[in-house]
Chain A
Amino acid sequence: MSERRLHLQLGVGACVASGLLIFLAIPQWVAAPSNIKNIILSPLFWPYVLAGCTGVAGLGLIASGLRMPVIAHDRPTDPEEGPGALGRLLGMALIMVMTMYLLPRLGMVWTSMLCFALTAFLVKTRHPKLAVVCAVVIPLALYAFFAHVAGVAIPQGHFVRLP
């Protein structure tokens, strides 16, 4: 992506975000007592200032983008896309959602084992057997440290409980 296009995209995004904050999010989600005499001390003041600054930064990005030369080629620093990259990224998002869903039900150790194994196979590991061994050993070792050394109450889930 060229620097110009990047600035224009970010600028438009920042202006839209600023608008959403000022007209929708702040009135809806920031509570303020009705009897505040001084706006500067109101809980609304700081979010509005920051939303305004977001808009100003957005306009600045658009202005600087428009001043930049039009260059057709992409920058070489853009991350290279492997085959099926978007699908894998979606797969990773699903693994994260699954992790959040299973953590309280299966417990952290078993969920982490699944999470490790699925992620390793998602990135096409060349050591599948080692991946399975690590998927079992690493969560267990971390459980041992956090539960028995650090004294953290690691969630155990509803099924198999560890000592």
Chain B
Amino acid sequence: MSFVDSLMAGLSLVANFESFLALAGGVAIGVIGGAIPGMSATMAVALTLPFTFAMQPITGILLLLGVYKGGIFGGSIPAILIKTPGTPASSATILDGYPMAEKGEAGRALGMALWASCTADLISNLALIVFAGWLASFALSFGPPEFFTLILFSLTIIAGVSGESLLRGALSAILGLLLATVGLDLVYGTNRFTFGDPNMMGGLNFIAVLIGLFAIPEVLAMVWHPTAHLGKARSLGNNWVSFADYKKSFRSIVRGSLIGVFLGSIPGIGAAPSAFLSYSEARRKSKDKANFGKGEVEGVAASEAGNNGVAGATLIPLLALGVPGDVITAIIIGAFMIHGLQPGPMMFILNVDLIYGLFIGLIVSSVCLFFIGSVAIKGFKYVADIPKRLLIPGVLVLCIYGVFAVNNNIFDVGVMFAMGWVGYAMMRWRIPAAPFLIAFILGPLLEDNFRQAMLMSGSDWKILFRGPITWFFWSVTAITIFAIIRMGVNATREGRRAAKDAG
């Protein structure tokens, strides 16, 4: 199939009212979800997932991608107006966004956030279109040993950078891998941790685990402390962003977008580090360094470009390799699976129409984001007024329906509740949940590829070092572990020095 044929096939899939409605609806849901403090883009995507079961694959996936894109931008609205980031990715936006709001320039900050988000989103989507196909064609030569080392590298980096500590991240990933062993063995079909229950034989339902892990802990946190304080939303003010502001910040926006694309394409790093790195680079290169942190519009532009630049790029490893780059793409992989699709290099051959349909949809999503975001900025006060203590029971009921709908199985609701308590315990003990979920998804693939490699070689472990690709992944895994351990040791040393100085 030529490029034009693929493009036409994709267009025939998405050129209908239903797809564009799903995309626009998704962006709107995402913006609202991201804008409600306590909700997040992750929760919004997880709660939207059950509604996609009845849709065509392309429509359902576009809806989720819309929620994802909208959610990342939506988080910046409360960050600027009430100093509460709607998503962790928007934490860097507070640095200059809130001081601007205090100066009566909230409208200008939000306008710049929207323009920067849309620009970065577009750049990120173009990067996805350019690189995903190339990476997928390269990955077609991967065999089980290569996939094993790739997944091992992905898990290492996800465990290392997801939380505050490599060891806690590693523990989280190991527990996720352990949970993935529940069910029938892949080779011999014998029971593993099924406790004699037929419901456990197929393994734990992925949707039940993810909703339990990311939505129920929020419910329990609300139960623990119901009077969570909300800041007072500031007015938008009379100033709006001008083209001169955009022109002044354009270099920072492009730089932030490219940082986002680079970091987003590495599994596990996510939007928050990208936003902070983009912000610090913009400050380092700016003529108005002194204004950063005091209400500089370029700071808002840089941080928003950094976090939105990740949104398209995280789909590169997802579509090309079948490896989710972050929690949200892990949920989106679930949507693919529900519709009988397996993301990875083969998808570019078997489902090329769907891939190009997604690419076209993603380009359109940047335009949708611009218009829906403009409306959302003005309508935020209505979102902020939603009583959280009614929202949370609503989320709980939505979770119950959504999880049941996957398999028509009440057992899955129980799994969700149990995982909710696990997620809450992880929250209390500050164990990052992202490595757990991604390891739970990648666990069967990791084990499967390992055992296939062993079967291929007659159990000779040297097959895991059979060529330049495996050596490359072993090297970057070792470098990653070394770098993270070194950072941890330095941090501990700093802490001891500080404690000695204090005492």
Contacts and interface: CB of A to CB of B under 8 A. Distances in A.
A125 B496 contact: no
Interface string B40-53: 00000000001101
A135 B393 contact: yes
B244 interface: no
Given A9-B429, A32-B188, A60 B223 contact: no
Contact of A108 (B404, B450, B500): B404
A70 B398 CA distance: 44
Contacts of A99: 400, 413, 417
Contact of B401 (A10, A53, A108): A108
A160 interface: no
B226 interface: yes
Interface in B353-407: 387, 389-390, 392-394, 396-398, 400-401, 404-405
Given A40-B454, A54-B175, A120-B390, A103 B192 contact: no
A61 B451 CA distance: 30
Lowest 3 A-B CB distances belong to which pairs? A69-B499, A150-B54, A43-B185
A119 B428 contact: no
A138 interface: yes
- Chain B interface helix/strand/loop/mixed: helix
Nearest to B411: A100
B410 A43 contact: no
Interface stretch (B20-28, B124-132, B165-173, B316-324): B165-173
B397 A88 contact: no
Interface of B: 50-51, 53-54, 165, 167-168, 170-171, 174-175, 177-178, 181, 185, 187-188, 190-195, 219-227, 387, 389-390, 392-394, 396-398, 400-401, 404-405, 408, 410, 413-414, 417, 420-421, 427-431, 447, 450-451, 454-455, 459, 488, 492, 495-496, 498-500
Given A43-B187, A123-B222, A112 B397 contact: yes
Contacts of B431: 10
Contacts of A131: 390, 393
A122 interface: yes
A54 B171 CA distance: 6
A127 interface: yes
- Chain A interface helix/strand/loop/mixed: helix
Contact of A112 (B165, B190, B401): B401
Contact of A60 (B167, B188, B222): B167
B459 A38 contact: yes
A64 to B, nearest CB: 6
Contacts of B175: 54
A95 to B, nearest CB: 9
A82 B226 contact: yes
A125 B390 CA distance: 7
A162 interface: no
B174 A41 contact: no
A108 B459 CA distance: 50
27 contacts: A7-B165, A7-B167, A29-B191, A32-B190, A38-B459, A41-B187, A41-B451, A47-B178, A50-B174, A58-B171, A64-B488, A64-B492, A68-B492, A79-B224, A91-B223, A99-B417, A100-B413, A116-B393, A116-B394, A120-B393, A123-B222, A123-B392, A124-B226, A134-B394, A142-B398, A146-B50, A150-B51
Taking residues whose C-beta sits less than 8 angstroms from the other chain, chain A's interface range is: 35 or more
Interface in A73-131: 77, 79-82, 85, 88-89, 91-93, 96, 99-100, 103-104, 108, 112, 115-117, 119-120, 122-127, 130-131
Contacts of B393: 115-117, 119-120, 123, 131, 134-135
A115 B404 CA distance: 15
Contact of A134 (B390, B405, B410): B390
Given A31-B192, A47-B192, A130-B390, A10 B429 contact: yes
Contact of A119 (B174, B219, B499): B219
A2 B438 CA distance: 28
Nearest to A90: B223
A89 B413 CA distance: 19
A122 to B, nearest CB: 6
A64 B167 contact: yes
A127 B401 CA distance: 24
Contacts of A104: 410
A57 interface: yes
A155 interface: yes
A71 B499 contact: yes
A92 B220 contact: yes
B224 A88 contact: yes
A16 interface: no
A62 to B, nearest CB: 10
A123 B377 CA distance: 29
A81 B224 contact: yes
A30 B54 contact: no
Interface string A37-54: 010110100110011011
